[in-house]
Chains A and B, each alone.
Chain A
């Protein structure tokens, strides 16, 4: 692999690792806009469990999804520093900004493309070993696609 290809591959494989319940999830760093202390969320009556509600971020309304619910993670211990990860989802030409409520932000890691296995081809790209733990690698582009 040439040096520019190698650099691009590393960039595409760079992820933010976050804790959601008992799972660690890897979010593509290129889709992460900001990590902030958990935003105040206002529930939407009748919403599915995946949608915690709406928050305000930068003067705009921000839908906040519950990451643990999205990946069906078993509940973990009460988080001491919960965060909202503000991300872009959907294809580049029609991307949306939304928040992902997570228990904590852990670190930035590199996920080898060849190490990702057993995904559903959609939001859950697959699982990969990172630092001795199996993490869920997520495809945020798929989260924004119409179903």
Chain B
């Protein structure tokens, strides 16, 4: 079972996991110390590492058993380079990616 293929995802690492965000939802990317700050419509996300952009990801819907034990919004699951990827719903990013409120006012170094 799958949802239609989506194209163009920014891949990032956070909390030991791999996350994908549709390119079309990304407004900006800035470095902040050792982390990265990703600006999207739904707010500001933090990443430990930016892996790059992949053109194609086959996205599977989030299995109910995952939602039961990880009650976070997500657009689905995918695999890239034999690693599982959580595909982020830009309108409802998971708590693990959202910026720490204490850091919300900090300025990052804009990546050119």
The interface size of chain A toward B, counting residues with CB under 8 Å, comes to 27
Give the distance to chain A from B49, nearest Cβ to Cβ, in Å: 14
Q: CB distance B84 to A62 under 8 Å?
A: yes
Q: How far is the CA of A48 from the CA of B67 in the complex (A)?
A: 10
Known: A54-B77, A56-B79, A60-B79. A46 touches B72 (CB 8 A): yes
Q: CB distance A43 to B78 under 8 Å?
A: no
A-B contact count (CB 8 A): 74
Given A45, A61, A89, which contacts B65 in the complex, CB threshold below 8 Å? A89
Q: How far is the CA of A59 from the CA of B94 in the complex (A)?
A: 24
Contact with A along B82-101 (1 / 0, CB 8 A): 11111000000011100000
Q: CB distance A59 to B79 under 8 Å?
A: yes
Q: How far is the CA of A59 from the CA of B14 in the complex (A)?
A: 22
Instruction: Check: B64 CB closer than 8 A to any chain A CB.
Output: yes
Known: A60-B79, A61-B60, A61-B79. A44 touches B65 (CB 8 A): no
Task: Identify the closest chain B residue to A51 (Cβ).
Answer: B69
Q: How far is the CA of A59 from the CA of B84 in the complex (A)?
A: 9
Which among B3-11, B15-23, B29-37, B104-112 touches the partner chain? B15-23
Q: CB distance A43 to B15 under 8 Å?
A: yes
Given B17, B66, B69, B96, which contacts A42 in the complex, CB threshold below 8 Å? B17
Q: How far is the CA of A54 from the CA of B74 in the complex (A)?
A: 14
The interface size of chain B toward A, counting residues with CB under 8 Å, comes to 25
Q: How far is the CA of A144 from the CA of B82 in the complex (A)?
A: 25
Give the distance to chain B from A146, nearest Cβ to Cβ, in Å: 6
Q: How far is the CA of A89 from the CA of B17 in the complex (A)?
A: 25
Instruction: Check: A109 CB closer than 8 A to any chain B CB.
Output: no
Report chain B residues within 8 Å CB of A147: 68
Residues of B within 8 A of A (CB): 14-18, 60, 63-66, 68-70, 72, 77-79, 82-86, 94-96
A-B contact pairs, 28 of them (CB 8 A): A42-B17, A42-B84, A44-B70, A45-B17, A45-B96, A46-B70, A46-B72, A46-B95, A46-B96, A47-B70, A48-B69, A48-B70, A53-B17, A53-B84, A54-B77, A56-B82, A56-B83, A59-B79, A60-B60, A61-B60, A61-B77, A61-B78, A63-B65, A89-B65, A90-B65, A96-B64, A98-B63, A144-B65
